[in-house]
């Protein structure tokens, strides 16, 4: 009876700790889902995931080592050695992250490392009451302090700082356990287990957090925001696996029987999965209307509670038997499956449902690996190491194949040769009609290289580009190539033709709305708008063609060639195709298109508000470009915020939702579609008519306004 009472006491305290940690942690994410925009929400999830990955790196598997060996040995020197190692590693990694990425991510990395080794210490000592209050305290503080910091600061940085403060408060006490002595002998004696635990921990944290890192890198932060909310709901209902693991590990290590607890846990996991499936469609639209599109993703993730429970039971058993390398190998295999799922979701545009399915696949494959691999390889050390090697090779191969998959892909269908790839942050398509398919392939490759070359010259992001150098020059002269000077001169030409509606110096306003607003979730203050507007004036960009240089007249000015560089790259690609003897071709970059030759191409015009085409036109030896508020945008409450900023008001243009312009070249079509969009239906039509251009304007009322020369039938 005494043993049953002790089992019940320990399980109760661990259960309370994990339920409190999970519920309060979920509340944190649910609260911020109502405060900040999904894009800022996604960015927060991305940065926290990085900190979690790095803090696990700093732990070196020593937490599991303490929880496994301290109940058997009670050796305080093992604890002292472990804490000192974590202190040194976390300060080093946190310092590097603070310098090169984000200082608050660095602080959070250090704080999480301290807290992790601290709670594992309490587990190892089987001090379940202390363990419980640590989790309740840190989760409560990490809910309250970040909210206060955000409202005082108004930035994601405030939330990160608040989280770091909370984990420092409840984790830094572990430093008193340090009692330095030479050699770290207690850790060295268990080095094999430590390294295997480290690998298993890295695999585990990768399974739980690497998906957010990868999604934030491949997809938009909006998609990551939706995914994160769905994931947090999964975690909220999936508290059971965490309870089981943190209770079962020290109990199994101490030789206690736990079968009844395991069977009960599996039955409860089935019930929780059913509840998630039933409740998600009811509560998501009501409480999180901005995230209502994630209902099906939540339902899919809910089923992952079942394999997650089985996995935690098996992991606690393997750790207690000092088989951390089996856990490591299983997690690497599951991670490989997850990476496949995320990459397939990206390449096949499966979106949020594909990502949710990849999480379910991770949990199912992890549970299967943990069950079958130990049986397959028995207890042979060679077999267990083979699992780890296979897993690592799998993940490495996937990452390498993904890296290689971002280049140009060419397919041949008779005389039609089609190349697709990624450049300029969007999709590229080059189609050539030529009976000489080898010539066509060579021409497509060179045209694709030309697009990349233009991007390297004119990107605002790449530090090696000439535009980047100009944007960071202050007011001093910057030597530029004739080609970049030509495009800057063209941009000034269209600024003049559009009365400043098209303005390449609008970059400060674009950054304000598309970067800072995403992070803060707030409309810019009037003084912020005024300060940014004062930095926008195309006449203050001075070009000296004779000397091959340019400069700004006011410090803080920046240019973005987003409204003209795609058009220029398309025109250049068409020139390359022509130089290779290609007579019939189409080049498309992110919806902007130019065709060459006497071939007629059917071009669809997207409806700005419906998932259908507004109509189709036939295009021959012309260029077409479309600007719309549906391409790069996000919602701030009910307001649609997009990247087409009116330089005069400092706000996203409001009177149009889409503009399509047809011209002889793509530079003209690209620049004028932007200028007309910002000018609005009436002024935009007059502008097109005065220039003798063909254009279709979709007003904010969805009324179609055509220029006088527009002679296309929308089939």
Work out the average pLDDT over 429-458: 91
81's CB contacts (< 8 A; 6+ apart) are 184, 185, 186, 187
Q: What is the pTM of this model?
A: 0.57
| Of 474, 494, 501, residue with least CA distance to 558 | 474
- pLDDT value for 658: 92
Tokens found for residue 74: 């009670």
Work out the average pLDDT over 417-435: 88
| Of 304, 250, 282, residue with least CA distance to 74 | 250
**What is the percent of the chain where pLDDT is above 90?**
35
Residue 636 pLDDT greater than 60, yes or no:
yes
Residue 166 pLDDT greater than 70, yes or no:
yes
Distance of CA 317 to the CA centre of its chain: 34
Tokens found for residue 581: 């003897």
Please say whether the beta carbons of 659 and 677 come within 8 A.
yes
> Which residue(s) pair with 705 in the sheet?
697
d(CA 644, CA 136): 46
Residue 690 pLDDT greater than 90, yes or no:
yes
DSSP, collapsed to helix, strand or coil, labels residue 639 as strand
- pLDDT value for 197: 73
Q: Which residue has the higher pLDDT, 372 or 149?
A: 149
| Tens-digit pLDDT profile for residues 14-64 | 777 777 777 787 788 888 877 776 667 777 888 888 898 888 888 888 887
d(CA 150, CA 153): 5
**CATH: 1.10.3470.10, 3.30.70.260, 1.10.3980.10, 2.30.40.10. Which one for 434-552?**
1.10.3980.10
Neighbours of 206 (CB within 10 A): 22
What's the CATH class of domain 600-706?
alpha beta
Q: Which residue has the higher pLDDT, 292 or 28?
A: 28
| Tens-digit pLDDT profile for residues 471-517 | 999 999 999 999 999 999 999 999 999 999 999 999 999 988 887 77
Work out the average pLDDT over 216-229: 71
Residue 167 pLDDT greater than 90, yes or no:
yes
| Tens-digit pLDDT profile for residues 385-423 | 444 444 444 444 444 344 344 457 889 999 999 998 878
DSSP, collapsed to helix, strand or coil, labels residue 525 as coil
DSSP, collapsed to helix, strand or coil, labels residue 635 as strand
d(CA 491, CA 473): 19
d(CA 317, CA 483): 65
Residue 697 pLDDT greater than 90, yes or no:
yes
Pairing of strands 623-628, 592-596: antiparallel
Please say whether the beta carbons of 313 and 265 come within 8 A.
yes
83's CB contacts (< 8 A; 6+ apart) are 117, 121, 174, 175, 177, 178
Alpha helices, DSSP H, located in 498-637 = 507-511, 517-520, 526-533, 565-579
- pLDDT value for 260: 80
Q: For the chain, which residues make up each domain, given as ranges?
A: 2-404, 434-552, 600-706
| Tens-digit pLDDT profile for residues 346-379 | 665 566 777 888 888 888 888 888 887 777 665 4
Residue 77 pLDDT greater than 70, yes or no:
yes
Q: Which residue has the higher pLDDT, 8 or 120?
A: 120
Query: For the chain, percent helix, then strand, then coil, each to nearest 5?
Result: 65, 10, 20
Work out the average pLDDT over 534-559: 94
Residue 434: pLDDT band with limits 50, 70, 90: very high
Residue 290: pLDDT band with limits 50, 70, 90: low
Indicate the range of 193-207, 320-334, 487-501 predicted with least confidence.
193-207
Sequential DSSP letters for 277-307: HHHHHHHHHHH-GGGGGGHHHHHHHHTTHHH
Q: Which residue has the higher pLDDT, 118 or 189?
A: 118
| Of 28, 17, 92, 36, residue with least CA distance to 60 | 92
Is 382 buried (19+), middle (13-18) or exposed (0-12) by CB count in 10 A? Answer: exposed
């Amino acid at each position: 009876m005494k043993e049953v009472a002790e089992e019940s006491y320990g399980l109760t305290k661990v259960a309370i700790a994990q339920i409190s940690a999970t519920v309060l942690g979920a509340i944190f994410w649910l609260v911020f889902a109502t405060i900040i925009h999904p894009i800022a929400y996604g960015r927060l999830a991305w940065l926290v995931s990085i900190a979690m990955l790095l803090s696990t790196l700093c732990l070196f598997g020593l937490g599991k080592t303490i929880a496994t060996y301290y109940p058997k040995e009670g050796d305080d020197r093992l604890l002292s050695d472990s804490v000192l190692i974590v202190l040194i590693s976390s300060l080093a990694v946190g310092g590097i992250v603070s310098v090169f990425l984000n200082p608050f991510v660095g602080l959070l990395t250090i704080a999480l490392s301290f807290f992790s080794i601290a709670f594992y210490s309490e587990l190892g000592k089987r001090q379940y009451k202390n363990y419980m209050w640590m989790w309740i305290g840190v989760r409560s503080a990490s809910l309250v302090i970040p909210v206060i910091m955000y409202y005082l600061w108004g930035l994601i940085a405030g939330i990160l700082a608040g989280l770091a403060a909370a984990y420092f408060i409840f984790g830094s006490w572990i430093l008193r356990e340090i009692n330095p002595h030479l050699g770290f002998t207690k850790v060295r004696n268990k080095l094999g287990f430590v390294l295997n635990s480290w690998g298993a921990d890295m695999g585990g944290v990768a399974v739980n957090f690497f998906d957010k890192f990868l999604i934030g890198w491949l997809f938009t932060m909006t998609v990551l925001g939706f995914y994160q909310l769905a994931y947090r709901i999964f975690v909220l209902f999936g508290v059971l696996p965490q309870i089981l693991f943190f209770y079962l590990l020290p109990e199994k290590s101490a030789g206690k029987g736990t079968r009844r607890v395991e069977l009960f846990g599996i039955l409860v996991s089935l019930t929780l999965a059913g509840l998630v499936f039933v409740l998600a469609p009811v509560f998501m639209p009501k409480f999180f209307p901005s995230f209502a599109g994630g209902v099906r993703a939540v339902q899919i993730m809910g089923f992952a509670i079942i394999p997650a429970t089985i996995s935690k039971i098996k992991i606690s058993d393997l750790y207690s038997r000092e088989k951390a390398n089996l856990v490591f190998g299983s997690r690497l295999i599951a991670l490989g499956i997850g990476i496949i799922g995320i990459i397939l979701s990206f390449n096949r545009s499966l979106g949020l449902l594909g990502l949710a399915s990849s999480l379910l696949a991770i949990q199912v494959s992890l549970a299967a690996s943990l069950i079958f691999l130990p049986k397959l390889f028995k207890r042979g050390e060679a077999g267990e190491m083979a699992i780890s090697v296979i897993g690592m090779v799998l993940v490495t191969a996937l990452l390498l194949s993904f890296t290689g998959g971002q280049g140009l892909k060419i397919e041949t269908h008779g005389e039609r040769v089609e190349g697709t790839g990624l450049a300029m942050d969007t999709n590229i398509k080059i189609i050539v009609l030529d009976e000489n398919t080898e010539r066509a392939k060579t021409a497509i490759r060179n045209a694709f290289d030309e697009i990349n070359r233009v991007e390297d010259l004119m990107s605002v992001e790449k530090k090696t580009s000439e535009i980047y150098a100009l944007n960071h020059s202050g007011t001093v002269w910057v030597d530029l190539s004739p080609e970049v000077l030509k495009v800057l001169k063209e941009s000034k030409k269209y600024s003049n033709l559009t009365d400043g509606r098209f303005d390449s110096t609008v970059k400060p306003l674009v950054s304000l709305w598309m970067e800072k607003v995403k992070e803060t979730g707030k409309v810019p203050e009037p003084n912020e708008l005024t300060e940014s507007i004062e930095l926008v004036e195309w006449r203050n960009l001075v070009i000296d063609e004779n000397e091959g240089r340019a400069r700004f007249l006011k410090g803080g000015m920046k240019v973005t060639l987003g409204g003209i560089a795609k058009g220029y790259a398309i025109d250049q690609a068409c020139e390359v195709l022509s130089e290779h003897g290609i007579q019939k071709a189409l080049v498309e970059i992110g919806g902007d298109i130019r065709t060459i030759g006497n071939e007629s191409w059917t071009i669809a015009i997207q409806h700005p508000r419906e998932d259908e085409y507004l109509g189709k036109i036939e295009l021959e030896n012309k260029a077409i470009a479309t600007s719309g508020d549906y391409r790069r945008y996000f919602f701030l409450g009910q307001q649609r915020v997009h990247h087409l900023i009116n330089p005069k008001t400092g706000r996203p243009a409001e009177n149009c939702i889409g503009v399509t312009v047809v011209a002889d070249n793509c530079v003209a079509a690209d620049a004028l579609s932007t200028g007309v969009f910002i000018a609005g239906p009436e002024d935009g039509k007059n502008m097109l008519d005065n220039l003798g251009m063909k254009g279709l304007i979709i007003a904010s009322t969805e009324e179609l306004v055509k220029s006088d020369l527009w002679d296309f039938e929308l089939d």
